[in-house]
Amino acid sequence: MEFKEATLEERHLYYKKEWKIKDLPPFLIDSLKQREFGFDHDGNGPKDRYETFNSVREFERFMKIKAPYAAYSSISYYEKPEKREGWMKAEIVFDIDAKDLKVRRCDCTPGNICEICLEDAKELALTIIDTLRSNFDLKNIFLIYSGRGYHVRVLDEEALYIEDRSKIFDYVTASRVPEDLFMKHGYPEVFRKMFAFTFSRMKNMRSKELIENREEIINRMLNRRVDFLDFVRKNTKKRILESVAEINRELVDGKVTIDTKRILRLPSSLHSKVSMICRVVKDWENFDPLRDAVPKFRK
């Protein structure tokens, strides 16, 4: 499939005929008045900021008339969103961009996407959600297809007030090698899971032993076998674990997670650069963006 930029006419067609206010997730409708909105009207970035809306109807009218190139809303709730003042709380977000994935099964060059790396991005998002649920007991989690990747948005009330998000980012992405790799649960388990994701996709590995035994290494790792990397020397072993941790850290855009005032692409809006719909994913396993997020004017 080709990812073509939408014309002005197509944007208007989308917002007039296809976009509906009810496609906006309830968690945004319920907090509409506390959010800051941002818009990109011409494809040059979200320069129209500090926008606020007093009612759903007002917002609906704005979208239908303007048919923005891109629409965003703050992950944060403000007392005065029109001034970005009185920060109350903010969703915790993990941003996975398929075009920036450091490891992927396809041969896409950085900046490009295909069906396979979109699938990889989803697998990564689901892995992160699994960690958030099992290790942090978070439940109110949304998976959003962003147009070229996925957003994981956490709305559990107790999580919204955390200001320093770097620790949770490092934990969830497994960006450090744990001291004890083989502990049954907790962080070591998260690391092993992420090791499997990354190591199975790593390219340009110089060692023949690693390439030939890749699957076996992953299996042993997941089964907590201390001999999982016995195919290589001790020094190499350490290096591999560290490079996996380093890649893990870059799979998700850390700047987005740490920034508690971020604006994020609005679910239901059109990602005009690639003509795809940013939308809440309901059926996590079966969602296929090339079937479920393509606007009618592209079909």
Interface stretch with Zn ion, choices 58-66, 99-107, 197-205, 218-226 (CB under 5 A): 99-107
**Using rule CB under 5 A, residue 274 touches Zn ion:** no
Question: Of 98 and 278, which CB lies nearer to Zn ion in the complex structure?
Answer: 98
Least distance from Zn ion to the Cβ atom of residue 119, Å: 9
Among 75, 93, 103, 117, binds Zn ion (CB under 5 A): 117
> Exposure pattern of 255-273 as b/e (b: 16+ CB <10 Å)?
ebbeebebbbbbbbbbbbb
**Using rule CB under 5 A, residue 114 touches Zn ion:** yes
Q: What phi and psi, each to the nearest 5 degrees, are found at residue 106?
A: -90, -175
Least distance from Zn ion to the Cβ atom of residue 215, Å: 22
156 catalytic? Reply is no
How far apart are the C-alpha atoms of 197 and 191, rounded to whole Å? 10
Least distance from Zn ion to the Cβ atom of residue 48, Å: 32
Interface stretch with Zn ion, choices 26-34, 100-108, 135-143, 207-215 (CB under 5 A): 100-108
**Using rule CB under 5 A, residue 123 touches Zn ion:** no
**Using rule CB under 5 A, residue 108 touches Zn ion:** yes
3-state SS, the chain, equals: CCCCCCCHHHHHHHHHHHCCHHHCCHHHHCCHHHCCEEEECCCCCCCEEEECCCCHHHHHHHHHHHCCCEEEEECEEEEECCCCEEEEEECEEEEEEHHHCCCCCCCCCCCCCCHHHHHHHHHHHHHHHHHHHHHHCCCCEEEEECCCEEEEEECCHHHCCCCCCHHHHHHHHCCCCCCCCCCCCCHHHHHHHHHHHHHCCCCCCCCHHHHHCHHHHHHHHHCCCCCCCCCCCHHHHHHHHHHHHHHHHHHCCHHHHHCCCCEEECCCCEECCCCEECEECCCCCCCCHHHHCCCHHHC
**Using rule CB under 5 A, residue 141 touches Zn ion:** no
Question: Of 114 and 181, which CB lies nearer to Zn ion in the complex structure?
Answer: 114
Count of residues near Zn ion by CB under 5 A: 5
Least distance from Zn ion to the Cβ atom of residue 115, Å: 7
Interface stretch with Zn ion, choices 80-88, 101-109, 184-192, 289-297 (CB under 5 A): 101-109
95 catalytic? Reply is yes
Least distance from Zn ion to the Cβ atom of residue 98, Å: 7
Interface stretch with Zn ion, choices 11-19, 113-121, 145-153, 270-278 (CB under 5 A): 113-121
Selecting among 23, 170, 230, 253, the annotated active-site residue is 253
Least distance from Zn ion to the Cβ atom of residue 110, Å: 10
100 catalytic? Reply is no
Among 21, 56, 106, 294, binds Zn ion (CB under 5 A): 106
Give the type of residue at 225: R
Catalytic residue numbers read: 95, 97, 253
Binding site for Zn ion (CB under 5 A): 106, 108, 114, 116-117
